Amino acid sequence: MELKKELNEAFGLELDITEENDKSGLSRYLTSGRKIYKAQDGEIVFYVVKLPTAVDSRVLYKELAAYEKKYEAGVAFWFDRLTKNSRNAYVKHHIPFLMPPTQIYLPFLGILLGRKMSGTERKNTPVLSANAQKILLFMIYHAQGEYIKQQLADKLELDPVYVTRGTKELSISGLVTEEKRGRYMIVRRDRNAKELFELSRNLLASPVNKVIYVKKTKVVMGLPKAGDYALSEISMLNPPEIETYACYKKNRLIDQFEIVLEPGWEDSGRICRVELWNYDPLQLASDERVDDLSLFCSFKQSKDARIQGELEKVMEERKWL
């Protein structure tokens, strides 16, 4: 198949592409005159819908959501021909498409390949400690270029010893510069926020230490939203049945949680997921959600193409300081 050859050559994969016969639950207009293919290479799975002609981007965006909901994976549209205006509109609205051999736009596949690379060739790359990561994200979020170490300790409620250890990690990794100025030790960022994040992204770790299920209470709902619940508020991802919140693993509020040991037997509307984090999510949170970059990190191990695609859109549209 031409599509298999083009994708394998473009991405260095060994995709197995088969026609998908399960179209149950899809409206007739989503299946009539269209062929649907499943592409898979190990844990990487996505679907391709062959369309005879271009479709208005606003309509196609809605159709994309329907296919993704059905197959719970990334979906791309395959065309033989596209006008320049159609291609530009699809890219603008983050609609994956293929027009082999000249045009391939699969943002979700790029992220999945990055995850695969991170789990193999980069598996020995050390990651930052929780305190170093918190300091780094704080500095990315704030335009102020430098801080006295004591300022970081006060703002992030860290023991100065932990700040010193954390900034040392960042300095060794080339992410910040430490400078003695009089009797103060200065920590300085020399790059803009986006450059600093791109340089550090392979060193960033998921802040999630453990996930528990608890009864939904006012105490829990007062925590910052996290996981796919938070992502659904800043993307086109549908809200999950069970809400997710984040809490520092040493927070005394945990003593007030009503732990649910068998969530599968509970009414989904009466329970919540709580991610117990290695650093306090409240210190970086905004708009009642965990911060975007920590949210990104919390999905580093996710192989869900829909989530990775939405994360990519969020990162592309982010305004950096």
Sign of CA dihedral 21, 22, 26, 28: positive
Cα–Cα distances in Å, from 67 out to 64, 75, 308? Answer: 5, 7, 16
Give the per-residue pLDDT at 117.
43
pLDDT in tens, 242-251: 999 999 999 9
pLDDT in tens, 135-150: 999 999 998 889 999 9
Of the pLDDT bands very low, low, confident and very high (cuts 50, 70, 90), residue 44 is confident
Burial class of 171 by CB neighbour count within 10 A (0 to 12, 13 to 18, 19+): middle
Give the per-residue pLDDT at 10.
60
CATH number of 130-200: 1.10.10.10
| Lowest-confidence pick of 83-87, 120-124, 164-168 | 120-124
> Residue holding tokens 């060193």?
203
The overall average pLDDT reported for the chain is: 87
Most confident of 9-13, 45-49, 122-126, 240-244: 240-244
Interval 57-86 mean pLDDT: 90
Give the per-residue pLDDT at 119.
47
Of the pLDDT bands very low, low, confident and very high (cuts 50, 70, 90), residue 88 is confident
Of the pLDDT bands very low, low, confident and very high (cuts 50, 70, 90), residue 118 is very low
Of the pLDDT bands very low, low, confident and very high (cuts 50, 70, 90), residue 107 is confident
| Lowest-confidence pick of 1-15, 211-225, 293-307 | 1-15
**9-12: long-range contacts at Cβ-Cβ below 8 A with a sequence spacing of 24 or more?**
10/104, 11/109, 11/113
Q: Is 103 helix (H, G, I), strand (E, B) or coil?
A: strand
pLDDT above 90 (res 9): no
Q: Which residues contact 134 (CB under 8 A, 6 or more apart)?
A: 156, 158, 166, 279, 280, 283, 284
Interval 220-231 mean pLDDT: 96
Q: Where is pLDDT greater, at 154 or 179?
A: 154
pLDDT above 70 (res 105): yes
Residue 250 has a CB neighbour count (10 Å cut-off) of 11
Structural domain spans, the chain: 2-119, 130-200, 208-306
d(CA 295, CA 230): 8
Cα atoms found within 13 Å of the Cα of residue 123, Cβ hemisphere only: 4
Residue 31 has a CB neighbour count (10 Å cut-off) of 13
d(CA 173, CA 269): 44
Of the pLDDT bands very low, low, confident and very high (cuts 50, 70, 90), residue 122 is very low
pLDDT above 60 (res 271): yes
Q: Where is pLDDT greater, at 278 or 121?
A: 278
